[in-house]
Amino acid sequence: MERLQKVIANSGYTSRRKAEDLIVEGKVKVNGIIVKELGTKVTNKDVVEVNGKAISKVEKVYYVLYKPEGYVSTTNDELGRRQVTDLVPDYIRVYPVGRLDYDTSGVLLLTNDGDFANTMAGPAHDIEKEYRVKMKGFLRKEESQKLCRGIKIDNYVTKKAYIKNVEYNKDNETSIATIIISEGKYHQVKKMFEAVGHPVLKLKRERYGCVDLKGMSVGQHRLLKPHELKQLRLQAK
């Protein structure tokens, strides 16, 4: 027997966390009966329905997408904006691992493996994320050092970061830098640079763990290679 939320996640319908929300909201039935208890366990003989549709196990897939700007990293947007899932085949239902902002581009993982998505996006796992940032003003050495040591944003202090390849454009008074972090808080990179007086103008995630954008064009996706998948799982332990 397996927990209901895990069965839903393994079907590729959504992540385990979202599956828990669906259960609590009364949108899940087991053998025709609405179930709201998160501890509920089911067997292969039980019929599980989500939003009125029976689920079944599907082959697990793992994509990396070169997300363009102007797409939301959700599978449902109230404003009707374009979704990242529009850029991958629609015959297999996948969802993003974590999020990139609407105006942010770069590496985004998508999968129908709820356990994998939950593990990768979990706050306890220090998977490196590398961003290329364009910002207002000239980033000074002492400001970089503050960011690298950890800086207070909202009600927490960020973990240590690493900044490299800083460039300056005197004509439009902007800076470009690469920052490597191991967290994924809401709007974290933008808030970090704003905290030292440099609003972000453009943001691109160039690497997620061992996965980067080499050989990819904007809007393109590919399957994760076996060694990438293995390495990500090792990094998340």
Domain borders along the chain are: 2-54, 62-124+213-235, 129-208
Is 101 designated active site? yes
CA angle 88/89/91 to nearest 5° reads 145
Token pair for residue 49? 């329905």
Per-residue pLDDT at 12? 74
* pTM over cut 0.85: no
CA–CA gap between residue 27 and residue 29 (Å, rounded): 7
Catalytic residue among 46, 86, 101, 212: 101
Per-residue pLDDT at 125? 67
CA–CA gap between residue 13 and residue 50 (Å, rounded): 9
Answer yes or no: CATH 3.90.230.10 is held by domain 62-124+213-235.
Answer: no
Per-residue model confidence as pLDDT tens digits over 205-236:
999 999 999 999 999 999 999 999 999 988 87
Instruction: Reduce the secondary structure of 212-227 to three states and give it as a string.
Output: ECCCCCCCCEEECCHH
Per-residue model confidence as pLDDT tens digits over 50-84:
999 998 777 889 999 999 999 999 887 888 899 99
Q: Do domains 62-124+213-235 and 129-208 have the same CATH topology?
A: yes
Is residue 124's pLDDT more than 60? no
Superfamily assignment of 129-208 in CATH?
Alpha-L RNA-binding motif (3.30.70.1560)
CA–CA gap between residue 44 and residue 38 (Å, rounded): 18
